[in-house]
Structure 1
């Protein structure tokens, strides 16, 4: 018996040592943190300066420090670009596939490489490559090259076609160098560009010179650019209508094709069908383990009229075909999964489609097109000039009126006259003016693209505000892109996509508005800085009644939202306050979130206080496939992957699934979609009144193993603290601000080990 007792004591001591060792080890182990991006992408700073609301500064050129562009390098690069000597058989130059007269593309569905003859759309024979030739206009701004983003610089990019056996086919780079060194003119030009005499002729300097030349291919004086700078006649009325469609939430073109480059270095699944006879192209997934299958780089729309056919594999011959594809919801119509949430489909009349195409023609500018050399130092033949019939169409569409720049003056008050549209009064305005709109019902979409404009409704004797009514046909009530925009004292009803959309603006004041049944969003400032939304009432919206996304310094206060999918949403925003609001009878009352695949990569530094969020039990009625459709009904406040949010002094009650939920992005998104820090970190919940939440959670909650509760935390992220004594919670034990860091770390690791074992 004594021996048994001894062994039991030893076993107990051993177990205790193991427990203490585990606790000590996990207490010392750090909790992983999400990386903090150097550039957030939030707010108007991501599109600044927005001089007129449309005119924005181009980003810096993607120029490596060891290869600053000089006239000598660019001049050498131009000759090399057009010289077939860079190919194994001296028969293909860069310009063979990137011809200046076809927008530095080739007019073919897919490029023809080694063994082909001819140039442009008449090139035949040889090896047909798998992808469409992208334009080189404004390629100097890109940080991801090729359709799949495999290269990060023009210098790196050049080496691929130079050495690929199906393209220029150089299998012995030193032999190419020797061939160039045998030409005295090239030796002199390399020496002028780089110094070092004959030794300056090298593969690396070939790459540097051509990259320097390509960085001079800048297109920035299109009719659109002149219009954005204040030349009101630079766009035709049809093109202005097309611009409005481009910027609308109906098409959402502007979400991915972002001014001024009309591109973005992101990779998106839009579901383009595979080219007949070719294997499936994995796109980004083919070059990086975390890439999504079928995701491709968002190309520029600059000079798009010159570069047909379209898409990564050239399956669409015309811009009209491209628009039809997007109108059908992209690949959704073909059964493609994981199509980007911005590609939802839309309805356009034939006139609207023609208007949108006309605007795309207004992005044409070849004023900086370099001349094709008459000859090159090798003496080999140079590509000829080609006739691109698209130029005649561009000339027909684009305006020829003389400039008429809008200048600021003494601020005026303009009143909409009887029988006049609001848009007509806006078109008479200049920066600084106030446009007064008398009571009435106006069936129109209003577009404001200049700064310092106030749009103010004038109530009737009964105090009723004027009404903007889209009659369930028009996409947006108001679209504004000018700095210091104010709108107040309106009812906005029955639009299919948005009530009020404000994009890329510094200084937004939306107040005293009633929005009802306006599609995706009620009020919708995006990519904006210094936003104040107050005394807004929103209802009947199938996403967020009140929304601010990818913004900086946002205040939403004294507002009411009910009967929406989401009452108030702050998305991918840096710095916000949400207070004194009342949200009820939505699916989700308040929503603070960080979503992937957007320009802004942060959601942080927010305060949510003195709000009432109650009875948000309306079944989710967002369109299938939209991000909003993922939001679980019965939620008072949802924090999705956001950081440094303080939640206090709110009343959150009678929400059937959960009062407050703080969770990771993985609950709603595939890991290959996630390009932001997925974990909610350093959020603090305290001193809220939580009553009768989680009493009947919806299946979307219970299906992932979560019960209903006042507070749900999925255990992800560092630094989350909960000071809510007496609140029901999952897990039952939540870390509070009184916990020392070692205890927090040990608990966090234990919780996540249990999660992994249960999954």
Structure 2
């Protein structure tokens, strides 16, 4: 990167410092903005950045992937006009793994305080953005679309915020959050991770929360997927749960998706809990999700294939209409402690839940 592409943002200008008799050298702790123009390498700018710096990517199409390992870095574009696509020949660890942006901490040290905003990520073989070992990650006003697996994915991360993003037409989940993506382990504490005010449309599943605790999914628009929201646990301890799903609009998730090794075919699932405990599903609008899958219905408590039960969950204050085979579906026994209260709905399985 040339000097003309780097702007220093400091609280006091160098000229003012000289005029006052203070040495003009800017402290290293002052944040900078590094500009990236079309045809330049975003990775080079990121590698040049210090903690607290911003890499600002101007409008244009950039056929590359980016790996972030600097704490406190902000990677920001100009909105949907800043587009990242796969390179013709992938380079670097992030690109070779098929991802667009990789926020990469380690098992021994989390990567703190990274922000990614105002970009469009499209067409990657794996995920538009993936975070591993992050703490305090913020992803805001990012569109991730037409990626083969996930729009956004993370594992072993805490205190994340996904806000105002769009995940569209991705092969698996628009947003996929897990303790680990591959290993079978007990649920991890996400420490108040927040998924809010996002648009999730045309994916296999809008939001998947797998083997996590202490997470909120709130005020999202979730439509046109095969399934809206999945909260998934298994037989490992600690159990998945303590998840809040509230104030979302989960409507017409009637796309058909073929079965996989883990799940039967999906179609017409609104909000599904399987193998989760002590979660609250409240004040959502769940309408016109219709299908014949074992997981179809408005709000579904589904007994998992590995025998993990859903226990002591609260389903309350939801407005349900036109879901099939029913607005509320509970496949657990009455002894599991799940509570259905004050929901507006017409039909349930078993009867009497509305």
TM-score normalised to the size of structure 1?
A: 0.38
C-alpha separation in 2, matches of 1:602 and 1:560:
28
C-alpha separation in 1, matches of 2:58 and 2:177:
28
2:39 aligns with one of 419, 442, 451: 419
1:683 aligns with one of 313, 319, 328: 313
Match of 2:59 in 1: 439
Deviations 1:420-478 (A, max 9, x none): 2101111111222111111110111111122111101135xxxx430001269751000
Aligned residue runs from structure 1 range 253-652, under 5 A: 409-417=29-37, 419-459=39-79, 464-470=80-86, 475-481=98-104, 482-550=111-179, 551-595=190-234, 601-621=238-258, 624-625=260-261, 627=262, 629-630=263-264, 632-652=266-286
C-alpha separation in 1, matches of 2:191 and 2:277:
14
- Seen in structure 2, the aligned counterparts of structure 1 residues 564 and 415 have a Cα distance that, compared at 3 Å, is same
Q: Which runs of 5+ in 2 are unaligned?
A: 1-27, 105-110, 180-189, 291-295
What is the DSSP-based 3-state SS (H/G/I as helix, E as strand, rest coil) of the residue aligned with 2:136? strand
How far the C-alpha of 1:595 sits from its partner, in A, is: 4.2
- Seen in structure 2, the aligned counterparts of structure 1 residues 444 and 534 have a Cα distance that, compared at 3 Å, is same
C-alpha separation in 2, matches of 1:547 and 1:596:
20
C-alpha separation in 2, matches of 1:483 and 1:490:
20
- Seen in structure 2, the aligned counterparts of structure 1 residues 595 and 412 have a Cα distance that, compared at 3 Å, is farther
Deviations 1:177-211 (A, max 9, x none): xxxxxxxxxxxxxxxxxxxxxxxxxxxxxxxxxxx
Match of 2:331 in 1: 714
Determine which structure has more spread, i.e. the larger CA radius of gyration. 1
2:350 aligns with one of 719, 725, 731: 731
- Seen in structure 2, the aligned counterparts of structure 1 residues 607 and 436 have a Cα distance that, compared at 3 Å, is same
What is the DSSP-based 3-state SS (H/G/I as helix, E as strand, rest coil) of the residue aligned with 1:414? strand
How far the C-alpha of 1:664 sits from its partner, in A, is: 2.3
- Seen in structure 2, the aligned counterparts of structure 1 residues 452 and 592 have a Cα distance that, compared at 3 Å, is same
The 4+ residue runs of structure 1 with deviation greater than 4 A are: 471-474
The answer on whether the counterparts of 2:319 and 2:344 sit within 8 Å (CA) in structure 1 is: no
Aligned residue runs from structure 1 range 65-214, under 5 A: none
The answer on whether the counterparts of 2:235 and 2:275 sit within 8 Å (CA) in structure 1 is: no
How far the C-alpha of 1:610 sits from its partner, in A, is: 1.1
C-alpha separation in 2, matches of 1:418 and 1:635:
42
How far the C-alpha of 1:517 sits from its partner, in A, is: 0.9
1:663 aligns with one of 299, 302, 308: 302
Match of 2:293 in 1: none
The answer on whether the counterparts of 2:226 and 2:256 sit within 8 Å (CA) in structure 1 is: yes
The answer on whether the counterparts of 1:648 and 1:687 sit within 8 Å (CA) in structure 2 is: yes
The answer on whether the counterparts of 1:504 and 1:527 sit within 8 Å (CA) in structure 2 is: yes
TM-score normalised to the size of structure 2?
A: 0.78
The answer on whether the counterparts of 1:504 and 1:526 sit within 8 Å (CA) in structure 2 is: yes
C-alpha separation in 2, matches of 1:709 and 1:418:
52
Match of 1:697 in 2: none
- Seen in structure 2, the aligned counterparts of structure 1 residues 497 and 428 have a Cα distance that, compared at 3 Å, is same
Match of 1:22 in 2: none
C-alpha separation in 1, matches of 2:120 and 2:232:
28
Higher helix fraction: Structure 1 or Structure 2?
1
C-alpha separation in 2, matches of 1:726 and 1:538:
29
The answer on whether the counterparts of 1:444 and 1:477 sit within 8 Å (CA) in structure 2 is: yes
Deviations 1:155-179 (A, max 9, x none): xxxxxxxxxxxxxxxxxxxxxxxxx
Q: Which runs of 5+ in 1 are unaligned?
A: 1-407, 672-677, 695-707, 737-759
C-alpha separation in 1, matches of 2:277 and 2:36:
45
What is the DSSP-based 3-state SS (H/G/I as helix, E as strand, rest coil) of the residue aligned with 1:732? coil
How far the C-alpha of 1:419 sits from its partner, in A, is: 3.1
Match of 1:89 in 2: none
C-alpha separation in 2, matches of 1:725 and 1:490:
39
What is the DSSP-based 3-state SS (H/G/I as helix, E as strand, rest coil) of the residue aligned with 1:419? coil
Root-mean-square deviation (CA), in Å?
2.1
Deviations 1:243-285 (A, max 9, x none): xxxxxxxxxxxxxxxxxxxxxxxxxxxxxxxxxxxxxxxxxxx
C-alpha separation in 1, matches of 2:286 and 2:67:
38
What is the DSSP-based 3-state SS (H/G/I as helix, E as strand, rest coil) of the residue aligned with 2:320? strand
C-alpha separation in 2, matches of 1:496 and 1:727:
42
Deviations 1:609-643 (A, max 9, x none): 11111111101157x43x3x546321011111111
Deviations 1:197-253 (A, max 9, x none): xxxxxxxxxxxxxxxxxxxxxxxxxxxxxxxxxxxxxxxxxxxxxxxxxxxxxxxxx
Higher strand fraction: Structure 1 or Structure 2?
2
